[in-house]
Amino acid sequence: MKMIRYERDTDGFHGVYYPNEKKPSHKAMIVMLGDDSEDHLVKCGARYFHDLSCNVMALSAGKKDYGYHSWPLEEITRAIDVMKQAGNDAFGIAGISTTGMIALTAASLIPDLTLTIAMSASDFVMQGFIRDGKDGAQERPAEGESTLTWGNVGLPYLPYAFAHPDYWQVLKQEARDTGNMAAARILFDESEFRCPLREEMMIRIEDIKGHVMLIGAEDDALWDTCRYSRRILKRLQAREHECTVEALLYEHGTHFVIPQGMMKYLLPVGADLLLPKLFPAAKGHTKEIRRNRRLIDKAVQKAVAAWGNS
């Protein structure tokens, strides 16, 4: 694939543009899928959206850095400006996990984003977190920092229930107890218990333009994304909004709910064997999870085909 790199110091954002050389298009999808704009998952996402006739811009917090704290959402607007110069006129964004939350937040603030694909996302802004290995912790809270800023101001956020070093110890213990590769339900449930969500922490989904896809599974080990998605649907019932929302919520799928077409690029063989080892809730449900990924794939294909045609 052709890659055009952009750096924060010279271009105002860290990312890689993957133009679709096989299927020239005016549609551009921003993907935020991994810890770097050139990692394997991102490239699989680029290939997948190329198949759906999109150009792709991959963004990340930094090179090999999945730690989001005080990350300026303006980097997305700068990336959009670059893609406009390349001839694109329809812009979407796709993210999973933390970046699913970022996708929803960005779309609520940036009207150019008219297709939002949020996989395993939250409906509130999270506290920032850092991955620098301090005191042997893989991850720690960014004290006093939001994950995101807008206009040089940190967005209000739900503070984590635990500070460093307890934060990482809680995550490690839950992963050990549950057998999951990663688990954080205790962290997020306790955070909401100690600090009930306030309106300013919530993502203003009603301000999003175009189409929104909420994708999640009840057996998500990191947080209760289906509960968050149902809160979004309830929120929209009480507020005027222009966006259309499609909620694809399944009993089984784990935190890693991605379209089957993307999974085929990521793991051409062995996905059904690997997933139960990473997330025990998948054990005995691999056929159902594969079916759900196919349903997600069909829905994403349909949404992308209908988007940006005007």
Percent of the chain surpassing pLDDT 90:
92
Q: What distance in Å separates the CA atoms of residue 122 and residue 227, rounded to the nearest whole number?
A: 9
Nearest in space to 233 (alpha carbons), one of 259, 255, 214, 208: 214
Neighbour count for residue 273 (Cβ, 10 Å): 10
Structure confidence by residue, pLDDT tens digits, 157-167: 999 999 999 99
* Residue 262 tokens, joined: 């993307």
Q: Is 70 helix (H, G, I), strand (E, B) or coil?
A: coil
Q: What distance in Å separates the CA atoms of residue 250 and residue 216, rounded to the nearest whole number?
A: 6
Mean pLDDT score, 105-112: 98
Q: What is the CA radius of gyration of the chain?
A: 18
Q: Where are the chain's structural domains?
A: 4-157+202-306
Structure confidence by residue, pLDDT tens digits, 141-197: 999 999 999 999 999 999 999 999 999 999 999 999 999 999 999 999 999 999 999
CATH superfamily, region 4-157+202-306: Alpha/Beta hydrolase fold, catalytic domain (3.40.50.1820)
* Residue 92 tokens, joined: 């979407």
Q: What distance in Å separates the CA atoms of residue 172 and residue 201, rounded to the nearest whole number?
A: 27
Q: What is the pTM of this model?
A: 0.97
Per-residue model confidence (pLDDT) at position 310:
58
Which helix (H) or strand (E) element contains residue 57?
A: strand 55-59
